[in-house]
Amino acid sequence: MKATFCTRREFCALFVFLTVFVLISVLRHMDILEFQPKFNSTIIMPRVSTHPNEIHSFCTFQPLSPEDALEERLILDSTAWPETPLLPAPISLQQTSDPAHSTVTILPGRKGGQWHVGDQLEVMIQTSDFQGRPKKSGGDFLLASLHNRKLEAGVAGQVVDHLNGSYSAVFSLPWEGDAQVEVTLVHSGEAISVLNRLNREQPDRVYFKSLFHSGSLSETTLCNVCLRPTQQPLCNYTDLRTGEPWFCYKPKNLSCDARINHYEGGFKEKVLNSNEEKLFQSGVNMKVYIRASGPANVTVLPQKEGQPHVKSSTVTSGPSGYYYQGVWRALGGTTVREFTASAISQCLKGKVVHMYGDSTIRQWYEFLNAALPDLKEFDQHNPKRTGPHMSLDYANNILLTYRSHGPPIHFPPMDTRVLHYIANELDGLVGEPNTVVVFTIWAHFGPFPMEIYIRRLQSIRRAVVRLLDTTPGTLVFIRTANPRSLTLYVTINYSDWYTLRRDKVLRAIFKGLKVHLIDAWEMTLAHHLPHDLHPPPPIIRNMINYLLSYICPQNGS
């Protein structure tokens, strides 16, 4: 039976699509807050359409099981961002968000301007454009945190987009004393529309190369997750076990089997015109503080008797921890302790620790190597940045390894034989109770379609489940993504906005599994040191302490 308006095939299809979309939205609605704690996404979700068939026309994604396909749909919907229409050319900043004209106001709260430890602080952010007119729509990307430099204290805030130009940021108040509010405009909604368009239209703007070699012949061709069809045939390196796609143009005189390495190719030039580039100006409209209309700090009074220490918010979940005297204190669960070199050795004694991922997990590997005098790197003559690496402490029977995740990875040349997917590595582990697995996978995925990332994580999750089924004692940790310092050059491919959305996907996919998340996002945001792709040593030290506190709980062995 056809509805009366369903007279043309396209309309019918649209009708069916909308019905399914609404149905899924309604189903999703039920557990959305649990699913995605940092945003009040019930108000954001329905306004966005990211139907995968409309985009990335030259990308092929491996087919999914019905469950995985439904999960992908739900994740894409729940991580969708409010849409800001693309600005008409030539772009003028006039009607885009201007941090200099926007304001932060501390709300008096229920106790009329008095706060105790355990209370919440709420601030209202009103955004305005470069002409000083209040914005009427949402979609800006804001970050909020609370600091006390003297106490080396800090906590991340939760931002809610009211979709009318105003935003709330909610903070837990875990320490007594002064607390300074910092709200940053990372990108305007207009800039985000451009970032979104780039991923849709130019998912190959970061590219890779491979050298092919046989006998006296050598050729180099371009490789990527998504390769534009040309006259040149493709070599299909899709992984047979995980289904991860990877392609290179076929060399003219060599076979696809002659591929010997993989390396960073470069970046397509000029994907934005100079007008569009105006939307990404450090110090003007990218990662700029928004000033307070009144005071920017409050004095937090001692905790009142009977009040819970840090209460979780009514609209969002609370923070995962906070800094006090420079030390990260995780909320809920593990108490983070400080580990000296000998305490680290003691904790890792008899253990095998495998680290997989990008340079942000290699930092951990390097940190432990530097911290432990008896841990010696076994020289496999592999380049520092790419690895794989291995360190041994014979006396304490500790083995520590680092290996890069599979492509896309923008690294110097790597032998194709060391280019492994995390899922396959996990499947190859002979699990034993003293095995610790730590991985991170985010920094190289920004410019590529979200579908690629979702599939990658689903395949890693399957491997984690298999590992935990066969060796229930294995400890699995995931280091989450973190914000970084942004220049135009970095932003176009690796903006914090790309990162944030991938981080939400990761948290959703591993939710409910027996894996421990180390919240690098909040640990970077809550720290007073500037954002950096590779967070500075004080933050790494806290992350390692957090990891070790999990591996060796206080009263454990």
- Chain positions contacting ligand NAG, by CB under 6 A: 33, 40, 42-43, 60, 160, 162, 164, 166, 178, 205, 219, 236, 238, 252-253, 267-269, 271, 295, 297-299, 315, 489-490, 492-493
Closer to ligand NAG by CB, 197 or 337: give it.
197
Closer to ligand NAG by CB, 124 or 392: give it.
124
Q: C-beta of 487: minimal distance to ligand NAG in Å? A: 8
Contact 249, 232 (CB under 8 A): yes
Contact 183, 170 (CB under 8 A): no
Q: C-beta of 447: minimal distance to ligand NAG in Å? A: 8
Q: C-beta of 119: minimal distance to ligand NAG in Å? A: 15
Phi then psi dihedrals of residue 201, to 5 deg? -95, -25
d(CA 532, CA 513): 29
HSE-up (13 A, CA, CB side) for residue 123: 34
Closer to ligand NAG by CB, 331 or 490: give it.
490
Q: C-beta of 97: minimal distance to ligand NAG in Å? A: 14
Nearest to 185 by CA among 100, 75, 308: 100
Q: What is the CA radius of gyration of the chain?
A: 24
Nearest to 237 by CA among 105, 94, 407, 119: 407
Q: C-beta of 457: minimal distance to ligand NAG in Å? A: 20
Closer to ligand NAG by CB, 80 or 371: give it.
80
Closer to ligand NAG by CB, 166 or 434: give it.
166
- Beta bridge partner(s), residue 376: 392
Q: C-beta of 313: minimal distance to ligand NAG in Å? A: 9
Closer to ligand NAG by CB, 178 or 377: give it.
178
- Structure token pair of residue 408: 């896309």
Nearest to 156 by CA among 169, 175, 138: 169
Q: C-beta of 390: minimal distance to ligand NAG in Å? A: 30
> What separation in angstroms does the CA of 358 have from each of 227, 403, 439?
23, 8, 9
- Structure token pair of residue 170: 């909610």
- Beta bridge partner(s), residue 172: 120
Q: C-beta of 544: minimal distance to ligand NAG in Å? A: 27
Contact 423, 459 (CB under 8 A): yes
Q: Three-state SS string across 179-195, please? A: EEEEEEEEECHHHHHHH
Closer to ligand NAG by CB, 271 or 341: give it.
271
Closer to ligand NAG by CB, 358 or 393: give it.
358
Residue 137, judged by CB atoms within 10 A of its CB (0-12, 13-18, 19+), counts as middle
3-state secondary structure of 136: coil
Q: C-beta of 105: minimal distance to ligand NAG in Å? A: 12
Q: C-beta of 40: minimal distance to ligand NAG in Å? A: 4
Closer to ligand NAG by CB, 380 or 487: give it.
487
Contact 401, 390 (CB under 8 A): yes
Closer to ligand NAG by CB, 220 or 369: give it.
220
Q: Which residue lies nearest ligand NAG, judged by its C-beta?
A: 267
Nearest to 223 by CA among 243, 202, 247, 239: 247
